[in-house]
Structure 1
Amino acid sequence: MQDLHYRLPQERRISGDLPGARSQELSARREKAVARALTPGLPGYIVDADGGVLVDADGNSFVDFASGIAVTTVGASDPKVVAAIQEAATHFSHTCFMVSPYEAYVAVCEKLNELTPGSFDKKSVLLNSGAEAVENAVKIARAYTKKHAVVVFDNAYHGRTNLTLAMTAKNKPYKSGFGPLSGGVHRVPMSYPLRDDLSGKEAADRAISKIETEIGAENLACVVIEPIQGEGGFIEPAEGFLPALVEWCNSNDVVFIADEIQSGLARTGDWFACDHEGIIPDLVTIAKGVAGGMPLSAVTGRAEIMDAAQPGGLGGTYGGNPVACAAALATLERMQELNLNGRAREMEDIIREELSPLLDSGRVAEIRGRGGMIALEFVEASGAPDAATTTAIAATCKEAGVLILTCGMDGNVIRLLPPLVMPETLLRDGLSVLVEAFHTAIAGQTA
């Protein structure tokens, strides 16, 4: 990969035990001041970040394979994004677009209308978070179709609000104790090639049959799906699954909503994961990487659907904040300037080169995903999901200075989400730590 310019040294560096003294002090303060539900995974409090590294309060430098959960695609302190934020904040930090509008909001909507799949007229609404985008997409679909039911899929993750919790599959830690949740949400089987051994068409027929027999197209406002599932395990459906769903929705007056919050904006090597099979959603939800770390999300889609909500029916005090909009415009420009779609594909080649030998062990069932969104699913010798080994590998990596995330309904998947500006040397170093951690974990089981 082409070398880029960085403000901080792009190196893994751990000095002494983790967490260090300063991070221990901050952790003690957190335990007293912050709700216990928020428990960070990294044993260090971050004070600086750039490119592919996170630097903590004790001077340790971690390889970042998380990107703030796919947010810092262009890095956590890209100079052009920082400059855009500073310039915008110099003029005004907030007015509320619904009260006194500004150009940056319109410009972001124009750019998202241009980038999302489909050549038809589009419109957008800007919001704050991924969950808020999903919830508003459902509202828009209900307003347009005058129907109420919502279909989601096994393993899905769509957010933490009451409606999006109902749409999310995993109980703990997300839903347990927080009910009753919103009604009108129905779950159908997802295509999971590793486990169901079905073609895309077969898996789609199974899902559509369940929709038709248990819900009915006449009641269904929308189908909501992640083109590559995130928290559910980076599950990439079999080829043909998504096109078949889109075709069925188009034939039955059902709005097809692609949740591209984690998979969108260069993460998979295309602007959107939907581009891989050329599918065209009616609505797309966008967040995470769109604004370089500033809170911003969007719903973008067919103009006639987006206009179904009455004037004043969509919005929010902070949605499309002017500083976040400035960051988004700079972030999207940087993605194009640096050809992060191409860079994501180069990253995938390197990741697969370094990790593919692990498949020979019989303990890695699959390496899947695209671009800079790649996962490994770990299994026991029997083939059963192996959460214990997954947890051990993640812990060993963190101790060695590599931040990785786990996911999957069974907790047996490691997901890689590096900033797409990470240098090749750092990427390979982090992957070598992951490989060594895997061999250490397996060796410990046979010793």
Structure 2
Amino acid sequence: MTNDILRFATAGSVDDGKSTLIGRLLYDSKSIFEDQLDSVERTSRSRGEEQTNLALLTDGLRAEREQGITIDVAYRYFATPRRTFIIADTPGHIQYTRNMVTGASTADLAVILVDARKGLQEQSRRHAFLATLLQVPHLVVAVNKMDLVDYSQERFEEIRAEFTDFAAKLDVTDLAFIPISALHGDNVVERSMEMAWYEGTSLLHHLENVHIASDRNLIDARFPVQYVVRPHKADDPDLHDYRGYAGQMAGGVLRRGDEVVHLPSGISSRVARIVTADGDLDEAFSPQSVTVLLEDDIDISRGDMICRPNNRPREARDLQAMVCWMAESRTLTPRSKLLLKHTTRTTKVMVKDLLYRLDVNTLSRDEHPAELALNEIGRVALKSAQPLFVDEYKRNRTTGGFILVDEGTNTTVAAGMVLDAD
């Protein structure tokens, strides 16, 4: 029995049943309180609905309920004896592409809902593409509302064939199809008697058993330094020379005694201790937060990187990256100046060029556009004022990802994925 964490995002067209599906998972897995259920039942009755509307468990904002759609990314948590789950419920509208990017950026798996009556829609294709662009390793196509097509195997197979053809254009590593009815609970937590022709597992069983350990980058040891720990206790001589480097492992494994190198200085040392609030560890791995002590006294500060001597990230000032523009008040244009936050380092960057803008519905490219506007995605060339220690995003989503910030307002205006670096 395991007790690890699976982060997954749900996406799809408007009214495909994302909120109902999550509500069903919470309800059938007994992960809601009685007062929550009572509140939802009362609200459902006051709206004249014949049965409990489980979507209300996730559509928490009054404005969302009044419009009948999910707008923001709603995070929900539940657990089974086998796993703990963190769900990002993302909106379906095209104008909320940025929300989908936010929700899927840390996901291990994405559930794309498809209405069995409507089949594959523009939003379904867009969200599937975004999930693969963000290197989400596992994709589940949940064909919902099967009860409205009489649980037809033929209809399910049509949608599976259509999506499989589309997925051939994408970088999909693991793809599964599950026919469900979120409203009635068919194949959500328990196998459905209405679809005896389906030989696969329920959605929850799939979520509990999908293998994610190998998705972690356990090769490239990456430790971005967030804070230098220098306690000052005159009555404790053991702490007089204490210098620890606190941060979160961004990849690989560090063990006590390992030879490491500090970037940007290039000075080598060895790991003397790995410290946590619960005591010392023999090793640390992603995404643990630890304090690392080295055998040698090196001038290390926030934003620096500790890694292995023969396995280093690229040290680069020039980046090519895919970015999703998230700002409403301004556009991204050549010569734009912004702040770039990458792991624990923040530096100024300038946009050297907009190489192309991508149509996420057709996957066609608009070469050298004048700008990127809200929710648009494109490939850009950036020039950094300071060196960055990066990996390609497809190799390491932490050291290959970054955000862009408006220096004047301190608001996040874009999310980026490193494609190449010099």
What TM-score results when the alignment is normalised by the length of structure 1?
A: 0.25
What TM-score results when the alignment is normalised by the length of structure 2?
A: 0.26
Higher relative contact order (CA 8 A, sep 6+): 1
Structure with higher strand content: 2
